[in-house]
Amino acid sequence: MQSMILQSALNHLLEAHQIDIRPLDGKTVYFSLQDLPIAVNFICTNDRIFVTTDATINADVDIKLKSNVFLKLIQGEDLTELLRQDKIMIHGDVKTAQLLVDLLQQVEFDFEEALSKFTGDIVAHQVGKIAKKFKSSDNSLASIKDKITNFLITPKRFH
């Protein structure tokens, strides 16, 4: 189910931002977040990205990183620098990984704006503040769990 949601979201973003994925045509990227239960294959074909959790697929490149590093990549941080710092593990075709990063950096997505349609502005803004703290934290998963717990238990005192 999560792979279908991710697939729909990715293809919607590609279409909305008119991003050309032809440089990745015929490529398969295995992508895993080490601190969250996300491990998927992105299969790029026919100007679309198909997402699967099939572990038997041979990928052109295998990318493993933490969620805060992924957010840094999307925000434009240099892939080469993150590789030098050992924050990303890439096995396989590095050029394919760079193409994927370049495409992701073309997407402008306002998370707070999208969330506010479902939760209202106040909740979306608070979640946005949590996400900003999450991005700068070394222990991302523990940090975000703590912040969400604090917000849900004592929302008036949450900063």
**DSSP string of 62-76, one letter each residue:** EEEE-HHHHHHHHTT
Q: Are strands 48-52 and 38-45 parallel, antiparallel or unpaired?
A: antiparallel
Q: How far, in Å, CA of 41 to CA of 59, rounded? A: 7
Tens of pLDDT, residue by residue over 19-58, are: 888 999 999 999 998 988 889 999 999 999 999 998 889 9
Looking at residue 28, its pLDDT comes to: 95
Looking at residue 71, its pLDDT comes to: 78
Q: Is residue 143 within 8 Å of 151, Cβ to Cβ?
A: no
Looking at residue 132, its pLDDT comes to: 67
- Show me where the domains of the chain are located: 2-106, 111-153
Q: Is residue 3 within 8 Å of 32, Cβ to Cβ?
A: no
Residue 152 has pLDDT above 70, yes or no: no
Q: What is the dotted CATH code of the domain comprising 2-106?
A: 3.30.1050.10
Look up residue 57 and give its amino acid. I
Residue 144 has pLDDT above 60, yes or no: no
Question: Cα-atom radius of gyration of the chain, to the nearest Å?
Answer: 17
Among 33-42, 70-79, 115-124, 143-152, where is mean pLDDT lowest?
A: 143-152
What integer is the mean pLDDT of 91-97? 90
Looking at residue 158, its pLDDT comes to: 42
Q: Is residue 7 within 8 Å of 97, Cβ to Cβ?
A: no
Q: How far, in Å, CA of 71 to CA of 61, rounded? A: 19
pLDDT bracket for residue 105 (50, 70, 90): confident
Q: How many CA atoms lie within 13 A of 63 on its CB side?
A: 27
Tens of pLDDT, residue by residue over 60-69, are: 999 999 988 8
Looking at residue 16, its pLDDT comes to: 80
